[in-house]
Amino acid sequence: MTATLMDGRTLSRQLLESTAERVTGFHRSHGRRPCLATVLVGEDPASHTYVRMKVNRCTEVGIDSRRFDLPTLTTTEQLVRVLRDLSSDSAVDGILLQHPTPPQIDEHAAFEAIDPSKDVDGVTGTSFAAMAFGYRGFASCTPAAIMRLLDAYDVPLSGQRAVVVGRSAILGKPIGMLLLARDATVTYCHSRTTDLAAHVAEADLVVAAVGVPHLVRGEWIKPGAVVVDAGYNAGNVGDVQAATAANRASLITPVPGGVGPMTIAVLLAQTVDAAERHG
Ligand SMILES: Nc1nc2c(c(=O)[nH]1)N[C@@H](CN(C=O)c1ccc(C(=O)N[C@@H](CCC(=O)O)C(=O)O)cc1)CN2
């Protein structure tokens, strides 16, 4: 069996095009464009790349962006002040704080300084709760991107055994909640899980979201399973051994070109959602 690739690039293009149309409509009716503020602390080259990609995509679809690049030694208090100021700035619809922040930053406190109505990246506790309880709110972007990919490829979820490898606040935990909300039977695996291979081998759907290159081995994959690789490791390497996994899976997301591009497209779509709610 050779897996079909779940093409995040094409799907993201489609979402960006529909977002651009919504931006045009918003501009016509409100006389202004939606605005995303990006906040980046430090010099991490990958983070700079991701923020640049987000800003470039904003330009492509007609969203205004305001970029705040803060020095590596920024304190939590200084960062919180910037985020609170942006939260109370009526010209800003959405706020993105790029993760990870440098080690001296209390990232949780920083995320919580973002007004939930502008949390288009879905990183606050309010957004997480909304997602978990099924209320209106902003989903964390990568989990929302994964759900869009699964739906685009008509992957059945109800009653399916889903294994999520990873338990981070903006990826592993929320994707498990979204799959649970669609009636999947969800197992979280993490660094203390004793037999990862055995859990993965039981899964109809594997979501690898741990940030360890090639941790999930191809021979663990149940024949016919769906494999989502949300890893974004250096050198564009995913968390799954893609070449061998593709011999057993029915569907698999490539790295690059799978979950990553969709993540950014969702961020922009949610920025327009926020602008429409702000009016
Ligand atoms: N505040 C956030 N921080 C981080 C998030 C996030 O969603 N919110 N996710 C990741 C990084 N990330 C976005 O920020 C991200 C990673 C990778 C890609 C992507 O499109 N990658 C391409 C390949 C990269 C390239 O072409 O150079 C791909 O997979 O095709 C997008 C976004 C951590 N931080």
Evaluate whether residue 173 is within a structural domain. Answer: yes
Q: Is 168 annotated as a binding residue?
A: yes
Which atom of ligand 1 is nearest the CA belonging to 140? Answer: 7
Considering the domain architecture, whether residues 152 and 84 belong to the same structural domain is answered as: no
DSSP assignment, residue 170?
T
Per-residue pLDDT reduced to its tens digit, 117-144: 999 999 999 999 999 999 999 999 999 9
Per-residue pLDDT reduced to its tens digit, 223-257: 999 999 999 999 999 999 999 999 999 999 999 99
**The token pair that represents 155 in the structure block:** 């992957």
Considering the domain architecture, whether residues 155 and 250 belong to the same structural domain is answered as: yes
Pocket test for ligand 1, best of 9, 57, 99, 118 (most atoms within 8 A of CB): 99
Per-residue pLDDT reduced to its tens digit, 72-86: 999 999 999 999 999
Residue 1 has pLDDT above 80, yes or no: no
What is the Cα–Cα distance from 216 to 195, expressed in whole angstroms? 12
Question: At 6, phi and psi to the nearest 5?
Answer: -90, 110
Contact 234, 86 (CB under 8 A): no
Evaluate whether residue 169 is within a structural domain. Answer: yes
Evaluate whether residue 177 is within a structural domain. Answer: yes
Considering the domain architecture, whether residues 157 and 192 belong to the same structural domain is answered as: yes
Give ipTM to 2 decimals: 0.98
Considering the domain architecture, whether residues 248 and 147 belong to the same structural domain is answered as: yes
pTM for the full predicted model? 0.98
Grade residue 279 by pLDDT with cuts at 50, 70 and 90: confident
Which residue range forms the structural domain that includes residue 102?
31-115
Evaluate whether residue 270 is within a structural domain. Answer: no
In the residue annotation, 98 being an active-site residue is answered as: yes
- Identify any residues that bridge with 251 across adjacent strands, giving them in sequence order: 4, 226
Evaluate whether residue 24 is within a structural domain. Answer: no
CATH code of the domain in which 164 resides? 3.40.50.720
